[in-house]
């Protein structure tokens, strides 16, 4: 399986035009059977890396997933992370903020959910909602009760981008590695998936009228995503635009990117001191008796 992850990475400082980024690419698998074999191999490798990560207790890893509805975030998380020990992984899904969360700055609620060293944190939606859905629906900003003079329409988004980038750089300096995925779905593929959710009873629970309402704002969301990706993809916390019309291919691409990040950390199991090694040998002798 050959995947060049650089093909999907947004270079720092690059102005993003999403109509130039594909929603579908040539699949790396030739059949469903081969897809399953590739994914199983990736999941197994990721499980090994996660054990090293947990044992070494040096870094934290944060995976962020953003996308339009029906792009496959849940499925990607479920399949790619299926082999990871639940003890070392936490998934958070951020929806409409609570009354308590609205009383704090926009990064507060997600900051509390950041992963510890040795663990993997997964954000299914994240603080980026504050420059995406809030930008498309500015009335949400009013509910945040920010003091007058601090919500200038021209400056607030640039200021929030700066807050996000500064926070992510701070996390990187303290050992958190951040990987951000935007699942690039076409409007037509979303339409087909919505129809599937209506036509298949087992999928009815996934659909609501709100999904159709948000679909009407497609162009505004694409513009918000373009500006967000352009402003916040950095060398230490890059965005990856993953073609999502083919769910299986998207999962293989995501798993390859995650694996590449872990391998770059050169993780190893902790080395025991000579004293500790002697203690273990004494314990071994006692157990043999």
Write the Ramachandran bin of 70: left for phi over 0, alpha for psi from -120 to 50, otherwise beta.
left
Please state the domain count of the chain.
1
Where do runs of H (alpha helix) occur along the chain? 32-56, 73-80, 99-102, 108-111, 133-136, 139-143, 156-173, 187-199, 209-215, 218-232, 247-264, 274-288
Residue 195 burial (CB count, 10 A): 11
Model-wide pTM > 0.95: no
What would the pLDDT profile of 21-48 be if each residue is shown by its tens digit? 999 999 999 999 999 999 999 999 999 9
Domain CATH number, residue 134: 3.40.50.300
Helix 156-173 to helix 218-232 angle (10° resolution) is 50
- What token pair was written down for 45? 């490798």
Q: Both ends of the chain: CA-CA distance in Å?
A: 50
What would the pLDDT profile of 43-94 be if each residue is shown by its tens digit? 999 999 999 999 999 999 999 999 999 999 999 999 999 989 888 999 999 9
pLDDT in tens, the chain (289 residues): 789 999 999 999 999 999 999 999 999 999 999 999 999 999 999 999 999 999 999 999 999 999 999 999 999 999 999 989 888 999 999 988 888 998 999 999 999 999 999 999 999 999 999 999 999 998 888 888 888 777 777 799 999 999 999 999 999 999 999 999 999 999 999 999 999 999 988 888 888 888 889 999 999 999 999 999 999 999 999 999 999 999 999 999 999 999 999 999 999 888 877 787 888 888 888 888 8
Helix 73-80 to helix 32-56 angle (10° resolution) is 70
Domain that holds residue 80: 5-288
């Amino acid at each position: 399986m050959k995947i060049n992850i650089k093909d999907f990475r947004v270079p720092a400082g690059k102005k993003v035009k999403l109509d130039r980024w594909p929603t579908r690419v040539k699949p790396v698998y030739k059949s469903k059977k081969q897809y399953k074999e590739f994914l199983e191999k990736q999941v197994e490798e990721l499980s090994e890396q996660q054990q090293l990560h947990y044992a070494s207790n040096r870094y934290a890893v944060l995976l962020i997933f953003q996308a339009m509805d029906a792009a496959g975030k849940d499925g990607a998380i479920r399949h790619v992370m299926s082999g990871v020990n639940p003890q070392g992984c936490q998934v958070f899904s951020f929806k409409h903020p609570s009354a308590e969360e609205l009383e704090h700055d926009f990064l507060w609620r997600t900051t509390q959910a950041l992963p510890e060293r040795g663990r993997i944190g997964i954000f299914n939606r994240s603080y980026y909602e504050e420059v995406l859905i809030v930008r498309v629906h500015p009335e949400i900003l009013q509910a945040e009760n920010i003091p007058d003079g601090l919500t200038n329409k021209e400056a607030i988004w640039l200021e929030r981008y700066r807050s996000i980038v500064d926070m992510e750089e701070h996390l990187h300096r303290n050992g958190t590695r951040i990987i951000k995925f935007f699942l690039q779905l076409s409007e037509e593929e979303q339409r087909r998936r919505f129809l599937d959710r209506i036509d298949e009873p087992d999928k009815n629970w996934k659909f609501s009228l709100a999904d159709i309402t948000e679909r009407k704002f497609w162009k505004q969301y694409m513009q918000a995503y373009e500006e967000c990706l352009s402003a916040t993809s950095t060398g230490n916390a890059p965005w990856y635009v993953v073609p999502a019309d083919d769910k299986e291919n998207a999962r293989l691409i995501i798993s390859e990117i995650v694996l590449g990040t872990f391998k770059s950390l050169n993780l190893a199991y902790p080395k025991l001191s000579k004293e500790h090694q002697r203690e273990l040998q004494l314990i071994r002798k006692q157990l043999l008796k």
